[in-house]
Amino acid sequence: FFHQVLSAFFGADAAALLPRCPSLSDIVQLYKQMSSNSPATQTRYIILDRAERMRDMDFSLLPALLCLQELVFPQIPVLYILYLLIVILAQILSRDHHPSYTPELYASYINILLGVFFSVCRDLRELRHLVRSYLPLNYLSLPQQTAVIL
């Protein structure tokens, strides 16, 4: 995994410098060395597509990724595609807010709805239908002018 990351950031030569079974300190040291040789002009990200596959990987990979974010400078944000998908869907669904609801209330409602339904439904059309179906019911249960956005 870390061979692929270093190869993507600095080329195949950098990945070849890692030992066969690198420790976290080997990775951090090599990353710092390579960063000083070729500093980034933009933020570097590690994006994990299908992050659920990490359950089948070595149990220490996730803690290593979290530590890596803290140990290297500039920091490398680790993004999980699932989280990005939720954020993007929330932005898309928030564009459709009804004029009778405040944008803040609508965005909060969208986030709650995605938290409940995202694991079973990822289709934008179905999510829009759920939003339209449940919002009037939930909004009517709130006393007017007392909604709190958390």
Give me the long-range contacts of 43-46 (CB less than 8 A, separation at least 24).
43/74, 43/77, 44/9, 44/74, 44/76, 45/76, 45/77, 45/78, 45/79, 46/5, 46/76, 46/77, 46/78, 46/79
The pLDDT assigned to 74 comes to 67
Helices (H), 38-148: 61-71, 81-94, 103-117, 124-140
How confident is the chain (150 residues) per 10-residue block, as mean pLDDT? 83 83 82 82 78 72 76 73 80 82 84 86 85 70 48
